[in-house]
């Protein structure tokens, strides 16, 4: 297995093989929770206008605008702590984020795409081990065009697990809890502190979201629902 780490959203455009998109704070933590709460599929979109179109068709809407801020078009913000106790049973969800949605939609050369965070790391590793493509590209997305400690460490932990190399999650959690993104979220977002806490619970939502193509669009589904 050839494993590489290529940081930031721009890497998704050229990434090949099995592409693992890592966005700990917050999208790749929120999406597994949506499936745990019963959502059947998640449609990633680029813009608020795109989200509005799906919402008019009966989709639930989850997302954010710049800076992680809320917008009236979304039923819920892109926030793990906001959606973890909501009922999405049988619901289709449209999802808009500043990084993950874009990375998914621009990953045109990937053979397979999966979304990873600490909350579902074990499920992601198991999926990769069972879907060997030879090439695995880990993409820690970071924030605003700069690397993020939280995503870099998560990507490193996934690589270590795949290579049977021990890693110290407790040490990682301490570093992430005080990293710039975590501090910014706690200081500026209404549910920032709760989101950081939830994002640092290892394997709390063991669901591997994978991206499939259907009728010219990309759809995120739980791996166990994809044939």
Domain positions in the chain are: 2-222
Those residues with Cβ within 8 angstroms of residue 106's Cβ, 6 or more apart along the chain or in another chain? 9, 12, 13
Indicate the pLDDT class of residue 155, thresholds 50, 70 and 90.
very high
- Please tell me the distance from the alpha carbon of residue 113 to that of residue 108, in angstroms, as a whole number: 10
- Residues 54-105: tens digit of each pLDDT: 999 999 999 999 877 788 999 999 999 999 999 999 999 999 999 999 999 9
> What is the predicted pLDDT for the residue at 227?
64
**For residues 153-173, b (16+ Cβ closer than 10 Å) or e, as one string?**
bbbbbbbebbeeeeeeeeebb
Q: Which fold has domain 2-222?
A: putative 2-phosphosulfolactate phosphatase (3.90.1560)
Region of poorest pLDDT, from 26-30, 150-154, 168-172, 188-192:
188-192
Indicate the pLDDT class of residue 139, thresholds 50, 70 and 90.
very high
> What is the predicted pLDDT for the residue at 81?
98
Indicate the pLDDT class of residue 167, thresholds 50, 70 and 90.
very high
- Please tell me the distance from the alpha carbon of residue 156 to that of residue 106, in angstroms, as a whole number: 23
Count Cβ atoms within 10 A of the Cβ of residue 201 and give its class: 0-12 exposed, 13-18 middle, 19 or more buried. Answer: middle
pLDDT at 33 over 90: yes
Those residues with Cβ within 8 angstroms of residue 44's Cβ, 6 or more apart along the chain or in another chain? 95, 96, 97, 100, 101, 104, 105, 211, 218, 220
| Mean pLDDT of the residues in the chain | 96
8 Å CB contact between 16 and 205: no
Those residues with Cβ within 8 angstroms of residue 8's Cβ, 6 or more apart along the chain or in another chain? 139, 140, 141, 142, 145, 146, 147
For 32, the 3-state DSSP assignment is helix
Indicate the pLDDT class of residue 205, thresholds 50, 70 and 90.
very high
Indicate the pLDDT class of residue 133, thresholds 50, 70 and 90.
confident
> What is the predicted pLDDT for the residue at 23?
98
pLDDT at 172 over 90: yes
Can you tell me the mean pLDDT for 172-189? 96
> What is the predicted pLDDT for the residue at 226?
83
> What is the predicted pLDDT for the residue at 150?
98
């Amino acid at each position: 297995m050839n494993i590489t780490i290529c940081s930031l959203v721009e890497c998704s455009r050229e990434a090949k093989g099995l592409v693992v998109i890592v966005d700990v704070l917050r999208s790749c933590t929120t999406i597994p929770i949506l499936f745990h709460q019963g959502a059947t599929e998640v449609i990633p979109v680029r813009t608020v206008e795109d989200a509005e179109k799906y919402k008019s068709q009966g989709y639930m809407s989850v997302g954010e605008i710049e800076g992680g801020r809320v917008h009236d078009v979304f039923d819920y913000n892109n926030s793990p702590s906001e959606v973890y106790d909501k009922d999405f049973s049988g619901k289709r969800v449209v999802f808009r984020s500043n990084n993950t949605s874009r990375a998914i939609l621009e990953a045109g050369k990937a053979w397979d795409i999966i979304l990873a965070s600490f909350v579902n790391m074990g499920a992601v590793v198991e999926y990769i081990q069972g879907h060997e493509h030879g090439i695995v590209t880990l993409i820690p997305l970071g924030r605003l065009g700069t690397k993020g400690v939280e995503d870099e460490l998560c990507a490193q932990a996934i690589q270590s697990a795949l290579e049977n190399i021990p890693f110290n999650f407790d040490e990682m959690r301490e570093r992430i809890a005080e990293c710039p993104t975590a501090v910014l979220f706690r200081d500026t977002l209404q549910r920032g502190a709760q989101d950081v806490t939830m994002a640092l619970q290892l394997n709390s939502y063991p669901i591997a979201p994978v991206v499939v193509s259907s009728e010219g669009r990309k759809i995120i589904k739980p791996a166990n629902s994809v044939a």
